[in-house]
Structure 1
Amino acid sequence: MNLIITTKRTSLGWTVDAALTALGWMAFFYLFTRGVVSIVHAGGIQPMPSLLDPAVTPLVPTLQTLALYLLVACFNALVVVAWGRYHKRLFRRLKLIRSADAVDEEELASHFHLSCNQLHEIQGSRVTVIYHSNDGAIAQLETDQLRMQPAGNSPVFHTVKVA
C-alpha cells in the first residue's frame, strides 16, 4: 500500500535531536563522575570503614545518590529494550495483517472519488493542496504539477499547469 502523505525528517530536526541527546549524556557523565570523584577524595584509598562511623556519615548521601543514578539508568535501559522488543513483535504482526488486507490502488482512488491518474499525481508530487466542499468531499486538488477537479465531483475535469 502506498501512502498518500509522507514526511521526511529535516536535517535541522535531526541536528537538534542529536545535540540535545549528546548534551544530556554529557550532563549525566559529568554528574556521575563528579560524585565518584568526591567519594574517592573524601575517603582516600584507605579501606572503607563502617557506615556507622561518624567520619563516613557525610558520604552516605553521595553513595545513595550514585546508587539512585545507577538504578534509574538500569530501569531506563530495561524500558527501552522492552519497548523495542514489543514494537518489533507488534509491527511484525501488523505488517502480516496489512499485507493480507492490502488495498489496491483502484479501491483507494475510488474511496476518495479520484481517478487512478490523480492518485498517482498526488503520490508523485512534493506539494499537494486539497480543497474540500461543505459535505467533506474533495472539491479540488492542486499539486506542484497539475490543478484538477476530482473525477467523482465532475464528469469532466480540467487540468491546468501551475507555475
Structure 2
Amino acid sequence: MTPIIRTHRSRALVIIDALITALGWLAFSYLATAGIIAVMTGLDHSFEFSLMGSEVPVTHALLLYVTIAALNALILILWGTYRRRSTRTAPQSNAASDDASLAERFALSGAQLQDIRLSRLLVIHHADNGEISRWEGYDASNIRLTA
C-alpha cells in the first residue's frame, strides 16, 4: 500500500503503528468470526456493550459491524469522487508546444526542463521578479542535479 502523503517517521513509530493496526484487525476478525459462528450454530447469545449499557444479541452486533463498514465505505467513495472532480484539469493539447512555452516562461532550456521533471526531490529558488534563479534536484538514483 502506498500512502497518500509521505512524511518521514522514525522506525519505532512505524512499528508501533503497524502493531496497533494489526491488533485492531485481529480483534475485529475475532469478533466478526465468533459472531458469525455463533449465529450459524444457533448459539445466538447476547453480550453487553459497555458503551450502550445493555445486552445486545450477536446478530444485532454483526448488523452494527456491517453498518459501520458500509458507512465507512460510503464516506471513502464520496471523498474519492469529490477529490477526483475537484482536481480535474483541462486536457493537454500538444505536449511539445507546452514544453516549449513552459521552458520559455521560466527561462529554462529544454534539457533543464527535462532534468527538473526527472527529479524526485526538487528545490526551486526564485528571483525577486519570479524567474527561477537556481534549482537543486535529485533524480531516482540520488544523483544531484543543479543549475
- TM-score normalised by structure 1 residue count: 0.47
C-alpha distance in structure 2 between counterparts of 1:22 and 1:99, whole Å: 43
C-alpha distance in structure 2 between counterparts of 1:69 and 1:81, whole Å: 18
- % identical aligned pairs: 38
The alpha-carbon distance between structure 1 residues 109 and 22, as it changes in their structure 2 partners (threshold 3 A), is: farther
Structure 1 residue matching 2:123: 3-state secondary structure:
strand
Q: 2:71 aligns with which of 53, 71, 75?
A: 75
Q: CA deviation at 1:114?
A: 1.5
Residue 118 of structure 1 corresponds to which residue in structure 2? 112
Residue 139 of structure 1 corresponds to which residue in structure 2? 133
The alpha-carbon distance between structure 1 residues 136 and 24, as it changes in their structure 2 partners (threshold 3 A), is: farther
The one-letter code matched in structure 2 to 1:75 is L
> Which aligned segments of 4 or more residues in structure 1 are displaced greater than 6 angstroms?
56-60
How do 1:78-89 and structure 2 match up within 5 A?
Answer: 78-80=74-76, 86=81
Structure 1 unpaired stretches of 5+: 1-8, 49-55, 149-163
Larger relative CO (CA 8 A, sep 6+): 1 or 2?
Answer: 1
State the number of aligned residues: 121
Q: CA deviation at 1:68?
A: 1.8
Structure 2 unpaired stretches of 5+: 1-5, 138-142
- TM-score normalised by structure 2 residue count: 0.50
Deviations 1:73-97 (A, max 9, x none): 232334445666x47x849xx47x3
Residue 153 of structure 1 corresponds to which residue in structure 2? none
Are 1:99 and 2:92 matched, yes or no? yes
